């Protein structure tokens, strides 16, 4: 392994790893409004990292070919075959480094420790918890979450904050349930969102369709944790908060198109879509027709 000086990536770092890899990421969410998770995609030739230490959690998923990898954690080495779809939970607060023998295509998901600690209180009854490092393991849900975040980021240029935060919460809970140092505490939640709270949240969403909304602010309106809010909102409406937001944006777009006087691009921005093609994609998916067809019908 390389004998380069240890790289310390501190908690106030913007949660990405360009210092570790020589190549810049091929895709990054750092310019998006995502707050609790960041995504970076890398395509790397055979090589190795310097020794480094993290103060945030990193889950990396192999999207490419089968290859051989070696991980050294505080002087202890482990080798494994890294298949397509396998993941790595990088150790936190420990010096480690990686080596690989063929082209490596990975998605790196970087999570704030605060996100896991928030859910640890509800799931495990503890304010703090640590994820156990795992190397070259298969997990279908982690793989699908990574692909969904990648697709969201690619599809609209910056990615929906509410959608990303919902997936980040799902990932955090899954990691705590299956890969934490503590056993899971049984948590029960009965019933959907009370009608008065549901009205407060939906009114707020409809009043703010033109801007990015966060899961944290919606949960705060309902005076619930983000995890309980997501479950309760879906039970009450049949939709996730992000799905409901998109439905309402499309409904607002219908009204503006019927009123006339605005270009499709202006309608898209007024409804909170990032651009006209973003409006086009969701409008057609939910109505079966394009905005232009709807306008001329």
Tens digit of each residue's pLDDT (9 = 90 or more) over 30-65: 888 888 899 999 999 999 999 988 888 899 999 999
Are 232 and 222 in contact by the 8 Å Cβ rule? The answer is yes
Please indicate, yes or no, whether residues 174 and 195 belong to a single structural domain of this protein: no
Radius of gyration of the chain (CA): 21
- Phi and psi for 273 in degrees, rounded to 5? -80, 150
Please indicate, yes or no, whether residues 161 and 201 belong to a single structural domain of this protein: no
State the CATH number of the domain containing residue 31. 2.60.120.10
Residue 37 included in any domain: yes
Range of the structural domain that residue 104 is part of = 7-179
pLDDT reading at 3 higher than 60: no
Please indicate, yes or no, whether residues 125 and 196 belong to a single structural domain of this protein: no
Q: Quick one: tokens of 245?
A: 């937001």
* 241 vs 128: which has the higher pLDDT: 241
Please indicate, yes or no, whether residues 102 and 133 belong to a single structural domain of this protein: yes
Please indicate, yes or no, whether residues 174 and 198 belong to a single structural domain of this protein: no
pLDDT digits (tens, 9 = 90+) for 225-274: 887 888 889 888 888 899 999 999 999 999 999 998 889 999 999 999 88
Helices (H), the chain: 113-124, 140-156, 161-179, 195-207, 215-222, 226-237, 241-259, 264-270, 276-287, 291-296
Residue where a domain stops, chosen among 146, 161, 179: 179
Q: What's the confidence (pLDDT) of residue 250?
A: 94
Among residues of the chain, what percentage have pLDDT more than 70?
Answer: 87
Residues composing the chain: 297
Give 82: exposed, middle or buried? Use CB within 10 Å, 0-12, 13-18, 19+.
Answer: buried
Total domains present in the chain: 2
Q: What's the confidence (pLDDT) of residue 5?
A: 45
- Which 3 state secondary structure label does DSSP give 218? helix
Q: What's the confidence (pLDDT) of residue 138?
A: 93
Please indicate, yes or no, whether residues 162 and 238 belong to a single structural domain of this protein: no
Average pLDDT taken over every residue of the chain: 84
Residue where a domain stops, chosen among 146, 179, 212: 179
pLDDT reading at 157 higher than 80: no
Please indicate, yes or no, whether residues 112 and 22 belong to a single structural domain of this protein: yes
- Which 3 state secondary structure label does DSSP give 107? strand
Q: What is the DSSP letter of 260?
A: -
Please indicate, yes or no, whether residues 136 and 202 belong to a single structural domain of this protein: no
Q: What's the confidence (pLDDT) of residue 131?
A: 86
Q: What's the confidence (pLDDT) of residue 235?
A: 86
Q: What is the model's pTM?
A: 0.74
Please indicate, yes or no, whether residues 78 and 99 belong to a single structural domain of this protein: yes
């Amino acid at each position: 392994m390389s004998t380069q000086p240890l790289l310390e990536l501190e908690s106030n770092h913007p949660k990405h790893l360009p210092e570790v890899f020589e190549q810049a990421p091929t895709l990054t969410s750092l310019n998006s409004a995502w707050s609790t998770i960041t995504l970076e995609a890398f395509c790397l030739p055979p090589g190795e990292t310097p020794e480094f230490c993290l103060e945030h959690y990193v889950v990396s998923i192999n999207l490419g070919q089968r290859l051989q990898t070696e991980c050294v954690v505080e002087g202890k080495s482990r080798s494994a075959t890294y298949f397509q779809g396998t993941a790595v939970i990088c150790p936190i607060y420990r010096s480690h480094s990686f080596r690989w023998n063929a082209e490596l295509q990975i998605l790196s998901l970087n999570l704030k420790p605060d996100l896991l600690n928030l859910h640890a209180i509800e799931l495990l009854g503890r304010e703090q918890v640590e994820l156990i490092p795992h190397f070259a393991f298969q997990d279908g849900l982690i793989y699908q979450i990574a692909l969904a975040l990648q697709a969201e980021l690619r599809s609209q240029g910056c990615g929906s904050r509410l959608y990303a935060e919902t997936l980040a919460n799902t990932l955090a809970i899954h990691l705590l349930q299956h890969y934490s140092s503590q056993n899971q505490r049984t948590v029960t939640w009965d019933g959907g969102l009370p009608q008065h709270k549901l009205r407060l949240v939906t009114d707020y969403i409809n009043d703010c369709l033109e801007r990015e909304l966060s899961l944290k602010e919606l949960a705060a309106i309902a005076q619930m944790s983000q995890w309980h809010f997501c479950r309760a909102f879906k039970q009450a409406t049949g939709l996730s908060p992000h799905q409901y937001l998109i439905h309402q944006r499309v409904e607002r777009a219908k009204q503006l198109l019927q009123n006339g006087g605005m270009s499709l691009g202006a309608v898209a921005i007024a409804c909170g879509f990032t651009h006209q093609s973003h409006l086009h994609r969701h409008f057609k998916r939910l109505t079966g027709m394009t905005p232009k067809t709807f306008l001329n019908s």
